[in-house]
Chain A
Amino acid sequence: MNYLYYPGCSLEGSALEYNLSTIAFMEAMGIELTEIEDWTCCGASAAESVSHLLSLALPARNLALAETMELDADLMIPCSACYLNLRNVAEKIKKEPDILNEINTVLKEDNLELKGDIQVRHLLDVVATDLGADSLAPKIRKSLDGLSIAPYYGCQCLRPYTVFDDPEKPTTMEPLINVTGARVHAWDMGGKCCGASHMNTKMDVGMELVAAILRAARGADAVVTVCPMCQMNLEAYQKKISATYGEDLSMTILYLPQLIGLAIGLSDKDLRLDLNLSITESFRNKLNNDCVK
């Protein structure tokens, strides 16, 4: 199997470990990723807050570049915000040909033209649908039994385009967690919102949303995410949130490829667990402990 790959800006910065663990995991699964040459920012949540046309043109540039690579493969994206931005263009131009014309008027300035024949897929979709627990099972080298894992999906891989999971009660991560030997932490926060960029512009509101998620995760050993923005919101402000609400809300937060990567025998060095901002002592102990064989 072969995929075109769009890492996006965060994966070269604050979410470096998501990039590196994704590459390591895919390689171990025998999957080839081909990064889009000369890719640029998708506009994140900034473009849609400032200009509608820009919020289409920035992701469209990357889709057009992907088309020029002439590879018969789907495009895989690990960041939910990038995924939604690129997917949004792919969906919109199917329904409204006028938009495609407008986009191409802009892209012409960069000598590019968008046709719209590439499938845009989220990393979770690829791992859950194309790989699936069945293809992971024979590769498990280290059972994570004894761990309880809370799957956190966030918003933008689930909504508004309901492609591979139930947007109200997502479940696609559960078989992937079970196959590692770990238990799924029972909660109903998987598809709830982490506040996205509220942590930067409206911190008090963002903290409220994140606190509710961390509180519900209590009892789990780790929360697993599939988006750098969710990951950052959940892991980076735990001290401040704990102090504000007067309760201990510290929690290990991992990216999905890190968790399943551990189970197929990749080392925490391969998966760059050293780069995560919140891995608790007790999680590390459990991971190195005999209860995890």
Chain B
Amino acid sequence: MFVSDTMLKINDLCAKVEDKEILRQLNLEVKPGEIHAIMGPNGAGKSTLGNVLSGRPGYEATAGHVEFKGQDLLDMDPEIRAREGLFLAFQYPVEIPGVSNMELLKASVDARRAHAGLEEYSAIEFMKMAREACKTVNLDQSFLKRGVNEGFSGGEKKRNEIMQMMLLEPSLCILDETDSGLDIDALQVVASGVNAMRSADRSFIVVTHYQRLLDYIVPDYVHVLANGRIVKSGDKSLALELEAKGYSWLENEAV
């Protein structure tokens, strides 16, 4: 298999939502095995970035280029992006009553494996894996039978996202404020899930408001996204500085 030396390469990406320009010439490069944290004020465009990368309808890339494992990402349909290994843990996971978690998991993992030319897991094999994943994120097994996120608490929804991520074994994981609203225990569950998945050929983009998460998931780089672009990059110490000083000094810089 062709292994690119970049996981994700974003060049001068511009994107619109409902005719409003949100991303303005954003640049970012993520290499395999790296963890990048993205921080920034509300409304800066962090979720928009995740949405554009995952191909959400309504989030339109108007200029620039995105390369994912050597391929033109923006050219792919959203389900193909997922099958190629891009995963977005949503900031606000939707509830889908009537569709069970297990159905969703099996259908998505089957799709990803078929795309890679791999054999499907048998129902029994997969059930075992799913139960194991439940344990890791500290969700009761009964969650597998329940409707997707239906009636889950905020923390349970976030852990459910991590469970999906574990079973899908993506190459690039984008976590959009997965830590927001979690207590320390739940945060540790999420972080250990992520850390257990760290590997040389997998990368993470972790969007967060809180430096706290980065004590558990230690990033290689920290970026500040403001006004639709990366305005500052540094190492993990930047997160501490941001927590102390806020973003206003950087926002001014960016305009």
A and B form one complex = no
Question: Which positions in A face B, CB cutoff 8 Å?
Answer: none
